[in-house]
Structure 1
Amino acid sequence: MRIVAWNCAMALHRKWDVLSALQPDIAIIGECDTRERLKARGVNIPPSRYIWTGGRPFKGLAVIAFPPFRLRLNPLHDPALPHILPVEVRGAGLRFNVIGVWAQNISAGFRTRPEPGPFNRAMDRYGHLIAGTPTIIAGDFNNHHFWDRPGHAINFAENLGRIHRLGLSSAYHTARRESHGSETVPTHYWRDRRIDGPTYHIDYLFYPDAWHHRFRGFGVGDFEGFCSTGLSDHAPLVADFDAGRGARSKPRPIPEWLLPVRR
Protein backbone atom coordinates (compact mmCIF):
# COMPACT_ATOMS: atom_id res chain seq x y z
CA MET A 1 0.00 0.00 0.00
CA ARG A 2 1.43 3.36 -1.03
CA ILE A 3 0.72 6.67 0.69
CA VAL A 4 1.66 9.91 -1.11
CA ALA A 5 1.60 13.39 0.42
CA TRP A 6 2.18 16.35 -1.90
CA ASN A 7 1.40 20.05 -1.94
CA CYS A 8 0.78 20.32 -5.67
CA ALA A 9 0.71 24.16 -5.75
CA MET A 10 -2.72 24.25 -7.48
CA ALA A 11 -3.91 23.15 -10.94
CA LEU A 12 -3.99 19.45 -10.02
CA HIS A 13 -5.73 18.65 -13.31
CA ARG A 14 -2.53 19.60 -15.16
CA LYS A 15 -0.46 17.45 -12.81
CA TRP A 16 -2.76 14.44 -12.58
CA ASP A 17 -0.54 12.29 -14.79
CA VAL A 18 2.42 13.05 -12.53
CA LEU A 19 0.50 12.05 -9.42
CA SER A 20 -0.86 8.94 -11.16
CA ALA A 21 2.66 7.92 -12.18
CA LEU A 22 3.51 7.60 -8.48
CA GLN A 23 0.72 5.01 -8.27
CA PRO A 24 -0.62 5.95 -4.84
CA ASP A 25 -3.29 4.01 -3.01
CA ILE A 26 -4.01 7.07 -0.85
CA ALA A 27 -2.89 10.61 -1.70
CA ILE A 28 -3.00 13.66 0.56
CA ILE A 29 -2.87 16.70 -1.71
CA GLY A 30 -2.54 20.31 -0.59
CA GLU A 31 -3.52 23.36 -2.65
CA CYS A 32 -5.87 21.45 -4.93
CA ASP A 33 -9.29 21.90 -6.55
CA THR A 34 -12.68 20.64 -5.51
CA ARG A 35 -13.86 17.42 -7.13
CA GLU A 36 -16.32 19.41 -9.25
CA ARG A 37 -13.59 21.65 -10.65
CA LEU A 38 -11.43 18.63 -11.44
CA LYS A 39 -14.33 16.92 -13.20
CA ALA A 40 -14.93 20.02 -15.34
CA ARG A 41 -11.27 19.81 -16.37
CA GLY A 42 -11.36 16.16 -17.34
CA VAL A 43 -10.42 14.38 -14.10
CA ASN A 44 -13.49 12.50 -12.88
CA ILE A 45 -13.15 10.86 -9.45
CA PRO A 46 -16.09 9.19 -7.64
CA PRO A 47 -17.26 10.99 -4.47
CA SER A 48 -16.35 7.92 -2.41
CA ARG A 49 -12.71 8.41 -3.45
CA TYR A 50 -12.25 12.19 -3.19
CA ILE A 51 -12.87 14.21 -0.04
CA TRP A 52 -12.00 17.90 -0.04
CA THR A 53 -12.03 20.77 2.42
CA GLY A 54 -11.14 24.45 2.14
CA GLY A 55 -12.35 27.99 1.69
CA ARG A 56 -11.39 28.54 -1.96
CA PRO A 57 -12.50 25.96 -4.56
CA PHE A 58 -9.20 26.14 -6.45
CA LYS A 59 -6.95 25.89 -3.40
CA GLY A 60 -7.96 23.45 -0.68
CA LEU A 61 -6.93 20.12 0.78
CA ALA A 62 -8.00 16.68 -0.46
CA VAL A 63 -7.58 13.05 0.45
CA ILE A 64 -7.86 10.83 -2.62
CA ALA A 65 -8.28 7.05 -2.72
CA PHE A 66 -7.60 4.68 -5.58
CA PRO A 67 -9.16 1.21 -5.99
CA PRO A 68 -9.72 -0.84 -3.91
CA PHE A 69 -9.82 1.88 -1.24
CA ARG A 70 -12.78 4.10 -0.39
CA LEU A 71 -13.18 7.13 1.88
CA ARG A 72 -15.65 8.61 4.29
CA LEU A 73 -15.40 12.02 5.90
CA ASN A 74 -15.22 11.55 9.63
CA PRO A 75 -18.40 13.04 11.13
CA LEU A 76 -16.28 14.86 13.71
CA HIS A 77 -14.71 17.04 11.00
CA ASP A 78 -14.67 20.61 12.27
CA PRO A 79 -15.27 23.28 9.59
CA ALA A 80 -13.51 25.75 11.88
CA LEU A 81 -10.33 23.81 11.03
CA PRO A 82 -10.75 24.01 7.25
CA HIS A 83 -7.34 22.65 6.28
CA ILE A 84 -7.14 19.66 8.61
CA LEU A 85 -9.10 16.76 7.10
CA PRO A 86 -10.00 13.59 9.08
CA VAL A 87 -11.03 10.74 6.80
CA GLU A 88 -11.87 7.08 7.32
CA VAL A 89 -10.28 4.65 4.83
CA ARG A 90 -11.45 1.14 4.02
CA GLY A 91 -10.18 -1.37 1.51
CA ALA A 92 -7.67 -4.16 0.87
CA GLY A 93 -8.71 -5.74 4.15
CA LEU A 94 -7.69 -2.62 6.10
CA ARG A 95 -9.54 0.06 8.03
CA PHE A 96 -7.64 3.13 9.21
CA ASN A 97 -7.80 6.92 9.48
CA VAL A 98 -5.99 9.55 7.50
CA ILE A 99 -5.67 13.10 8.78
CA GLY A 100 -4.61 15.34 5.93
CA VAL A 101 -2.74 18.51 6.88
CA TRP A 102 -2.18 21.84 5.19
CA ALA A 103 -1.38 23.99 8.19
CA GLN A 104 -1.63 27.63 7.17
CA ASN A 105 0.32 28.97 10.11
CA ILE A 106 1.59 32.21 8.59
CA SER A 107 -1.50 33.19 6.60
CA ALA A 108 -3.64 32.55 9.66
CA GLY A 109 -1.41 34.84 11.70
CA PHE A 110 0.00 32.23 14.08
CA ARG A 111 3.72 32.27 13.33
CA THR A 112 4.67 35.20 15.55
CA ARG A 113 2.07 34.73 18.27
CA PRO A 114 1.90 32.22 21.13
CA GLU A 115 -1.44 30.65 20.09
CA PRO A 116 -1.36 26.86 19.55
CA GLY A 117 -2.02 27.03 15.81
CA PRO A 118 -4.31 24.91 13.62
CA PHE A 119 -2.51 21.60 14.01
CA ASN A 120 -2.49 21.62 17.81
CA ARG A 121 -6.14 22.65 17.80
CA ALA A 122 -6.86 19.71 15.52
CA MET A 123 -5.11 17.38 17.94
CA ASP A 124 -7.40 18.65 20.71
CA ARG A 125 -10.34 17.73 18.49
CA TYR A 126 -9.15 14.48 16.91
CA GLY A 127 -6.64 13.06 19.37
CA HIS A 128 -9.00 10.36 20.62
CA LEU A 129 -9.56 9.15 17.03
CA ILE A 130 -5.84 8.64 16.61
CA ALA A 131 -5.56 6.82 19.92
CA GLY A 132 -8.39 4.44 19.01
CA THR A 133 -7.70 3.57 15.34
CA PRO A 134 -4.50 3.27 13.26
CA THR A 135 -3.94 6.70 11.73
CA ILE A 136 -1.72 8.28 9.11
CA ILE A 137 -1.10 12.02 9.57
CA ALA A 138 0.50 13.62 6.53
CA GLY A 139 0.84 16.78 4.51
CA ASP A 140 2.29 20.27 4.57
CA PHE A 141 2.78 21.31 8.20
CA ASN A 142 4.46 24.64 7.37
CA ASN A 143 6.53 24.12 10.47
CA HIS A 144 9.99 23.05 11.63
CA HIS A 145 12.21 23.39 14.68
CA PHE A 146 13.94 26.24 12.81
CA TRP A 147 11.06 28.56 13.74
CA ASP A 148 10.54 27.41 17.33
CA ARG A 149 10.56 30.20 19.89
CA PRO A 150 10.59 29.93 23.69
CA GLY A 151 7.09 29.76 25.12
CA HIS A 152 5.22 29.54 21.80
CA ALA A 153 2.57 26.83 21.73
CA ILE A 154 2.80 26.63 17.91
CA ASN A 155 6.39 25.37 18.12
CA PHE A 156 7.06 22.29 16.05
CA ALA A 157 8.49 20.65 19.14
CA GLU A 158 4.99 20.87 20.63
CA ASN A 159 3.43 19.39 17.45
CA LEU A 160 5.95 16.58 17.47
CA GLY A 161 5.53 15.84 21.15
CA ARG A 162 1.80 15.43 20.74
CA ILE A 163 2.25 13.17 17.72
CA HIS A 164 4.72 10.95 19.56
CA ARG A 165 2.50 10.72 22.62
CA LEU A 166 -0.28 9.46 20.35
CA GLY A 167 1.99 6.64 19.17
CA LEU A 168 3.11 7.81 15.71
CA SER A 169 6.51 8.02 14.05
CA SER A 170 7.86 10.05 11.14
CA ALA A 171 8.44 7.97 8.02
CA TYR A 172 11.30 10.22 6.87
CA HIS A 173 13.19 10.09 10.15
CA THR A 174 12.68 6.35 10.61
CA ALA A 175 13.81 5.54 7.07
CA ARG A 176 16.77 7.89 6.89
CA ARG A 177 17.78 7.59 10.55
CA GLU A 178 18.05 11.33 10.95
CA SER A 179 16.91 13.36 13.93
CA HIS A 180 14.22 16.02 13.81
CA GLY A 181 15.77 19.38 13.04
CA SER A 182 18.76 17.79 11.24
CA GLU A 183 17.12 16.76 7.97
CA THR A 184 19.48 16.56 5.00
CA VAL A 185 16.75 16.45 2.30
CA PRO A 186 14.38 19.42 1.87
CA THR A 187 10.75 19.07 0.91
CA HIS A 188 10.09 22.73 0.06
CA TYR A 189 12.04 24.88 -2.42
CA TRP A 190 10.67 28.23 -1.40
CA ARG A 191 10.12 31.29 -3.56
CA ASP A 192 12.61 30.76 -6.40
CA ARG A 193 12.13 26.99 -6.75
CA ARG A 194 15.89 26.66 -7.11
CA ILE A 195 17.97 23.88 -5.67
CA ASP A 196 20.41 26.48 -4.34
CA GLY A 197 17.68 28.83 -3.10
CA PRO A 198 15.86 28.87 0.25
CA THR A 199 14.89 25.31 1.17
CA TYR A 200 13.01 23.85 4.13
CA HIS A 201 11.82 20.51 5.44
CA ILE A 202 8.17 21.20 6.29
CA ASP A 203 6.24 18.23 4.88
CA TYR A 204 5.83 15.10 6.99
CA LEU A 205 4.21 11.69 6.96
CA PHE A 206 3.56 10.08 10.34
CA TYR A 207 2.44 6.45 10.68
CA PRO A 208 1.30 4.41 13.70
CA ASP A 209 4.02 2.65 15.66
CA ALA A 210 1.88 -0.49 15.45
CA TRP A 211 2.59 -0.47 11.70
CA HIS A 212 6.35 -0.40 12.11
CA HIS A 213 6.60 -4.01 10.90
CA ARG A 214 4.58 -3.03 7.80
CA PHE A 215 6.84 -0.10 6.82
CA ARG A 216 8.73 -1.05 3.65
CA GLY A 217 10.02 2.04 1.86
CA PHE A 218 10.14 5.81 1.84
CA GLY A 219 11.37 8.64 -0.34
CA VAL A 220 11.19 12.36 -1.02
CA GLY A 221 10.65 13.20 -4.69
CA ASP A 222 13.73 14.50 -6.46
CA PHE A 223 14.09 18.21 -7.19
CA GLU A 224 14.62 17.66 -10.91
CA GLY A 225 11.43 15.67 -11.37
CA PHE A 226 9.02 17.77 -9.33
CA CYS A 227 10.33 21.27 -8.70
CA SER A 228 12.77 22.34 -11.39
CA THR A 229 10.06 21.60 -13.97
CA GLY A 230 7.71 24.09 -12.29
CA LEU A 231 5.21 21.49 -11.09
CA SER A 232 5.36 22.67 -7.48
CA ASP A 233 7.62 24.22 -4.89
CA HIS A 234 7.11 21.04 -2.81
CA ALA A 235 8.42 17.55 -3.47
CA PRO A 236 6.10 14.61 -2.74
CA LEU A 237 6.58 12.18 0.13
CA VAL A 238 6.03 8.51 -0.71
CA ALA A 239 5.73 5.71 1.86
CA ASP A 240 5.10 2.03 1.21
CA PHE A 241 3.48 -0.32 3.72
CA ASP A 242 2.80 -4.04 3.58
CA ALA A 243 -1.00 -4.26 3.63
CA GLY A 244 -0.84 -7.80 4.99
CA ARG A 245 -1.96 -11.26 3.92
CA GLY A 246 -5.05 -11.28 1.76
CA ALA A 247 -4.73 -7.63 0.74
CA ARG A 248 -6.06 -6.77 -2.69
CA SER A 249 -3.80 -3.75 -3.23
CA LYS A 250 -1.11 -4.51 -5.82
CA PRO A 251 2.60 -3.84 -5.23
CA ARG A 252 3.76 -0.56 -6.76
CA PRO A 253 6.81 0.16 -8.91
CA ILE A 254 9.62 1.68 -6.84
CA PRO A 255 11.06 5.03 -7.99
CA GLU A 256 14.84 5.28 -7.84
CA TRP A 257 14.60 7.84 -5.03
CA LEU A 258 12.39 5.62 -2.85
CA LEU A 259 14.66 3.73 -0.48
CA PRO A 260 13.87 0.48 1.34
CA VAL A 261 13.54 0.88 5.09
CA ARG A 262 16.61 -0.47 6.86
CA ARG A 263 15.99 -2.67 9.90
Structure 2
Amino acid sequence: MRIITWNCNMAFRNKSEYIISKKPDILVIQECENLNKNLFQNCLQKPCRSFWYGTNINKGIGIFTFSNYEIELLKIHNPEFRFILPLSVKNEESEYIILAVWTQKPKYHDCYTEQIWNAIHYYSELFKNENLIIIGDFNSNSIWDKPKRIYNHTNLVNKLLEYNIYSSYHAFYQENQGKETRATLFMHRKKERPYHIDYCFISEKLKNKLKNVIVGEYEFWTKLSDHTPLIVDFKE
Protein backbone atom coordinates (compact mmCIF):
# COMPACT_ATOMS: atom_id res chain seq x y z
CA MET A 1 0.00 0.00 0.00
CA ARG A 2 1.30 3.44 -0.94
CA ILE A 3 0.15 6.65 0.77
CA ILE A 4 1.30 10.09 -0.36
CA THR A 5 0.93 13.52 1.17
CA TRP A 6 1.67 16.72 -0.75
CA ASN A 7 0.91 20.39 -0.22
CA CYS A 8 0.30 21.32 -3.85
CA ASN A 9 0.42 25.11 -3.32
CA MET A 10 -3.05 25.50 -4.90
CA ALA A 11 -4.28 24.95 -8.50
CA PHE A 12 -4.23 21.18 -8.03
CA ARG A 13 -6.17 20.59 -11.26
CA ASN A 14 -3.07 21.73 -13.19
CA LYS A 15 -0.72 19.45 -11.22
CA SER A 16 -2.66 16.30 -10.38
CA GLU A 17 -1.26 14.23 -13.25
CA TYR A 18 2.25 14.46 -11.78
CA ILE A 19 1.35 13.12 -8.37
CA ILE A 20 -1.00 10.50 -9.83
CA SER A 21 1.97 9.19 -11.85
CA LYS A 22 3.43 8.06 -8.50
CA LYS A 23 0.58 5.53 -8.24
CA PRO A 24 -0.85 6.23 -4.78
CA ASP A 25 -3.42 4.03 -3.12
CA ILE A 26 -4.28 6.89 -0.76
CA LEU A 27 -3.51 10.53 -1.53
CA VAL A 28 -3.70 13.48 0.91
CA ILE A 29 -3.44 16.92 -0.71
CA GLN A 30 -3.21 20.22 1.18
CA GLU A 31 -4.18 23.56 -0.44
CA CYS A 32 -6.45 21.58 -2.73
CA GLU A 33 -9.35 23.05 -4.69
CA ASN A 34 -12.79 21.61 -4.06
CA LEU A 35 -14.21 18.77 -6.09
CA ASN A 36 -16.13 20.98 -8.54
CA LYS A 37 -12.89 21.99 -10.25
CA ASN A 38 -12.47 18.83 -12.38
CA LEU A 39 -9.24 18.05 -10.55
CA PHE A 40 -8.20 15.02 -12.59
CA GLN A 41 -9.01 16.23 -16.08
CA ASN A 42 -5.47 15.51 -17.34
CA CYS A 43 -5.07 12.13 -15.61
CA LEU A 44 -5.43 8.72 -17.19
CA GLN A 45 -6.20 7.24 -13.78
CA LYS A 46 -9.06 8.71 -11.74
CA PRO A 47 -9.65 8.19 -8.00
CA CYS A 48 -12.39 5.77 -7.03
CA ARG A 49 -13.38 7.98 -4.08
CA SER A 50 -12.79 11.65 -3.25
CA PHE A 51 -13.36 13.69 -0.10
CA TRP A 52 -12.76 17.42 0.34
CA TYR A 53 -12.99 19.69 3.36
CA GLY A 54 -12.57 23.44 3.57
CA THR A 55 -14.09 26.90 3.80
CA ASN A 56 -12.31 28.36 0.77
CA ILE A 57 -13.22 26.59 -2.48
CA ASN A 58 -9.70 27.17 -3.78
CA LYS A 59 -7.74 26.03 -0.74
CA GLY A 60 -8.82 23.07 1.40
CA ILE A 61 -7.67 19.53 2.04
CA GLY A 62 -8.46 16.68 -0.35
CA ILE A 63 -8.28 12.94 0.23
CA PHE A 64 -8.39 10.66 -2.78
CA THR A 65 -8.31 6.87 -2.89
CA PHE A 66 -7.60 4.18 -5.40
CA SER A 67 -7.65 0.35 -5.06
CA ASN A 68 -11.37 0.51 -4.18
CA TYR A 69 -10.83 2.26 -0.84
CA GLU A 70 -13.92 3.95 0.60
CA ILE A 71 -13.59 7.17 2.64
CA GLU A 72 -15.71 8.06 5.67
CA LEU A 73 -15.36 11.09 7.95
CA LEU A 74 -15.69 9.71 11.48
CA LYS A 75 -18.43 10.99 13.77
CA ILE A 76 -15.82 11.94 16.35
CA HIS A 77 -14.69 14.75 14.02
CA ASN A 78 -14.36 18.07 15.81
CA PRO A 79 -14.37 21.07 13.42
CA GLU A 80 -12.55 23.10 16.07
CA PHE A 81 -9.40 21.41 14.79
CA ARG A 82 -9.60 22.77 11.27
CA PHE A 83 -8.03 20.56 8.61
CA ILE A 84 -7.27 17.69 10.99
CA LEU A 85 -9.71 15.09 9.75
CA PRO A 86 -10.34 11.66 11.33
CA LEU A 87 -11.16 9.25 8.53
CA SER A 88 -11.88 5.60 7.97
CA VAL A 89 -10.33 4.45 4.69
CA LYS A 90 -11.14 0.86 3.86
CA ASN A 91 -11.74 -1.75 1.20
CA GLU A 92 -12.64 -5.43 1.43
CA GLU A 93 -9.12 -6.36 2.54
CA SER A 94 -8.12 -3.72 5.08
CA GLU A 95 -9.12 -0.59 7.00
CA TYR A 96 -6.96 2.34 8.05
CA ILE A 97 -7.79 5.08 10.52
CA ILE A 98 -6.21 8.23 9.14
CA LEU A 99 -5.80 11.69 10.60
CA ALA A 100 -5.31 13.87 7.53
CA VAL A 101 -3.42 16.98 8.65
CA TRP A 102 -2.92 20.53 7.44
CA THR A 103 -2.19 22.62 10.52
CA GLN A 104 -3.25 26.25 10.69
CA LYS A 105 -1.70 29.17 12.53
CA PRO A 106 -3.61 30.11 15.72
CA LYS A 107 -5.16 33.56 16.01
CA TYR A 108 -2.95 34.86 18.80
CA HIS A 109 0.53 33.45 18.11
CA ASP A 110 2.56 31.74 15.39
CA CYS A 111 2.93 28.18 16.74
CA TYR A 112 1.24 25.77 14.34
CA THR A 113 1.89 22.85 16.69
CA GLU A 114 -0.76 23.96 19.19
CA GLN A 115 -3.55 22.75 16.92
CA ILE A 116 -2.17 19.25 16.32
CA TRP A 117 -1.12 18.98 19.98
CA ASN A 118 -4.71 19.58 21.10
CA ALA A 119 -6.08 17.32 18.37
CA ILE A 120 -4.03 14.28 19.32
CA HIS A 121 -5.31 14.55 22.87
CA TYR A 122 -8.90 14.85 21.66
CA TYR A 123 -8.58 11.95 19.20
CA SER A 124 -6.43 9.74 21.46
CA GLU A 125 -9.04 6.94 21.52
CA LEU A 126 -8.34 6.37 17.83
CA PHE A 127 -4.72 5.59 18.61
CA LYS A 128 -5.64 2.09 19.79
CA ASN A 129 -6.17 1.15 16.16
CA GLU A 130 -3.46 -1.12 14.73
CA ASN A 131 -3.59 0.54 11.31
CA LEU A 132 -3.27 4.19 12.31
CA ILE A 133 -1.75 6.89 10.10
CA ILE A 134 -1.36 10.59 10.97
CA ILE A 135 -0.20 12.29 7.81
CA GLY A 136 0.16 15.70 6.24
CA ASP A 137 1.62 19.17 6.45
CA PHE A 138 2.36 19.88 10.12
CA ASN A 139 4.18 23.18 9.52
CA SER A 140 6.54 22.27 12.37
CA ASN A 141 9.98 20.93 13.19
CA SER A 142 12.08 20.53 16.34
CA ILE A 143 14.41 23.29 15.15
CA TRP A 144 11.68 25.78 16.06
CA ASP A 145 11.04 24.42 19.56
CA LYS A 146 10.55 26.89 22.38
CA PRO A 147 11.46 24.92 25.53
CA LYS A 148 8.82 26.52 27.74
CA ARG A 149 6.04 25.83 25.22
CA ILE A 150 4.36 22.55 26.11
CA TYR A 151 3.07 21.97 22.58
CA ASN A 152 6.39 22.27 20.75
CA HIS A 153 7.29 19.76 18.03
CA THR A 154 9.57 17.57 20.14
CA ASN A 155 6.90 17.20 22.82
CA LEU A 156 4.38 16.31 20.11
CA VAL A 157 6.65 13.54 18.80
CA ASN A 158 7.28 12.26 22.33
CA LYS A 159 3.55 12.24 23.12
CA LEU A 160 2.89 10.13 20.03
CA LEU A 161 5.66 7.76 21.08
CA GLU A 162 3.73 7.13 24.30
CA TYR A 163 1.10 5.54 22.05
CA ASN A 164 3.76 3.66 20.03
CA ILE A 165 3.24 5.95 17.06
CA TYR A 166 6.36 6.69 15.01
CA SER A 167 7.45 9.00 12.21
CA SER A 168 7.86 6.77 9.16
CA TYR A 169 10.59 8.99 7.70
CA HIS A 170 12.71 8.97 10.86
CA ALA A 171 12.18 5.25 11.41
CA PHE A 172 13.18 4.41 7.85
CA TYR A 173 16.22 6.71 7.54
CA GLN A 174 17.28 6.46 11.18
CA GLU A 175 17.54 10.23 11.49
CA ASN A 176 16.73 12.36 14.51
CA GLN A 177 14.00 14.96 14.65
CA GLY A 178 15.41 18.31 13.56
CA LYS A 179 18.37 16.63 11.78
CA GLU A 180 16.59 15.61 8.59
CA THR A 181 18.73 15.39 5.45
CA ARG A 182 15.77 15.50 3.05
CA ALA A 183 13.53 18.57 2.98
CA THR A 184 9.81 18.63 2.22
CA LEU A 185 9.56 22.44 2.02
CA PHE A 186 11.75 24.95 0.26
CA MET A 187 10.73 28.37 1.52
CA HIS A 188 9.78 30.58 -1.43
CA ARG A 189 11.02 27.63 -3.57
CA LYS A 190 14.62 28.51 -2.76
CA LYS A 191 17.02 25.58 -2.52
CA GLU A 192 19.02 27.35 0.17
CA ARG A 193 15.97 27.44 2.49
CA PRO A 194 15.09 23.75 3.09
CA TYR A 195 12.88 22.49 5.92
CA HIS A 196 11.26 19.19 6.84
CA ILE A 197 7.67 19.87 7.92
CA ASP A 198 5.57 17.11 6.33
CA TYR A 199 5.20 13.82 8.20
CA CYS A 200 3.58 10.41 8.16
CA PHE A 201 3.27 9.02 11.69
CA ILE A 202 2.29 5.36 11.91
CA SER A 203 1.28 2.74 14.48
CA GLU A 204 3.75 0.06 15.53
CA LYS A 205 2.10 -2.60 13.36
CA LEU A 206 2.56 -0.41 10.28
CA LYS A 207 6.11 0.46 11.32
CA ASN A 208 6.89 -3.25 11.17
CA LYS A 209 5.48 -3.32 7.61
CA LEU A 210 7.31 -0.20 6.45
CA LYS A 211 8.92 -0.83 3.07
CA ASN A 212 10.11 2.51 1.73
CA VAL A 213 9.93 6.27 2.30
CA ILE A 214 10.62 8.69 -0.54
CA VAL A 215 10.88 12.48 -0.46
CA GLY A 216 10.35 14.16 -3.83
CA GLU A 217 13.27 15.81 -5.60
CA TYR A 218 13.68 19.58 -5.38
CA GLU A 219 14.51 20.03 -9.08
CA PHE A 220 11.23 18.55 -10.28
CA TRP A 221 8.64 19.33 -7.62
CA THR A 222 9.51 22.96 -6.93
CA LYS A 223 8.35 23.77 -10.45
CA LEU A 224 4.90 22.92 -9.08
CA SER A 225 4.93 23.80 -5.36
CA ASP A 226 7.09 24.98 -2.48
CA HIS A 227 6.55 21.48 -0.98
CA THR A 228 7.77 18.13 -2.24
CA PRO A 229 5.66 15.00 -1.71
CA LEU A 230 6.27 12.47 1.03
CA ILE A 231 5.67 8.92 -0.27
CA VAL A 232 5.36 5.98 2.11
CA ASP A 233 5.13 2.32 1.09
CA PHE A 234 4.03 -0.64 3.21
CA LYS A 235 4.40 -4.35 2.62
CA GLU A 236 1.14 -6.14 1.93
Question: Do they fold alike, i.e. is TM over 0.5?
Answer: yes
SS of the residue corresponding to residue 55 of structure 1 reads coil
1:135 Cα deviation after fit: 0.8
Report the CA distance between 1:213 and its aligned residue: 2.8
Query: One-letter code of the match for 1:215?
Result: L
Query: Per-residue CA shift, 1:129-161, capped at 9, x if unaligned?
Result: 122342111111001111111221230012111
C-alpha separation between the residues in 1 aligned to 2:74 and 2:138? 21
Identify which of 179, 185, 191 aligns with 1:195: 191
Match of 1:129 among 109, 126, 133: 126
Structure 2, unaligned stretches of length 5 or more?
A: none
Kindly report which structure 2 residues correspond to 1:9-158, keeping only aligned pairs within 5 A, or say none: 9-38=9-38, 49-91=49-91, 93-105=93-105, 108-111=107-110, 117-158=114-155
- For residues 211 and 23 of structure 2, the distance between their equivalents in structure 1, rounded to whole angstroms, comes to 16
State the identity %.
30
- Summarize the Cα distance change of 1:92–1:241 in structure 2 as closer, same or farther, 3 Å threshold: farther
Q: 2:231 aligns with which of 234, 238, 242?
A: 238
Q: Which amino acid aligns with 2:123?
A: Y
Q: Which runs of 4+ in 1 moved over 4 A?
A: 39-46
Would the alpha carbon gap of residues 86 and 151 (structure 1) be closer, same or farther in structure 2, given more than 3 Å must change?
Answer: same
- Alignment partner of 1:172 out of 169, 173, 177: 169
Structure 1 segment 241-260 matched on structure 2, within 5 A: 241-243=234-236
- The TM-score, its normalising length taken from structure 1, stands at 0.83
CA-atom RMSD in angstroms: 2.2
Please state how far the C-alpha of 1:2 moved relative to its aligned partner. 0.3
User: C-alpha separation between the residues in 1 aligned to 2:151 and 2:134?
Assistant: 17
What's the counterpart of residue 2 of structure 1? 2
For residues 104-136 of structure 1, give each alpha carbon's deviation from its aligned partner in whole angstroms, at most 9, with x where no partner exists.
Answer: 13x644426xx9711012112211112234211
Q: Are 2:204 and 1:205 equivalent residues in the alignment?
A: no
SS at match of 1:183: coil
Aligned length: 235
Gapped regions of structure 1 (runs ≥ 5): 244-263
After superposition, what is the alpha-carbon deviation per residue over 1:146-189, rounded to whole angstroms, capped at 9, x for unaligned? 11112212300121112111221111111111111111111100
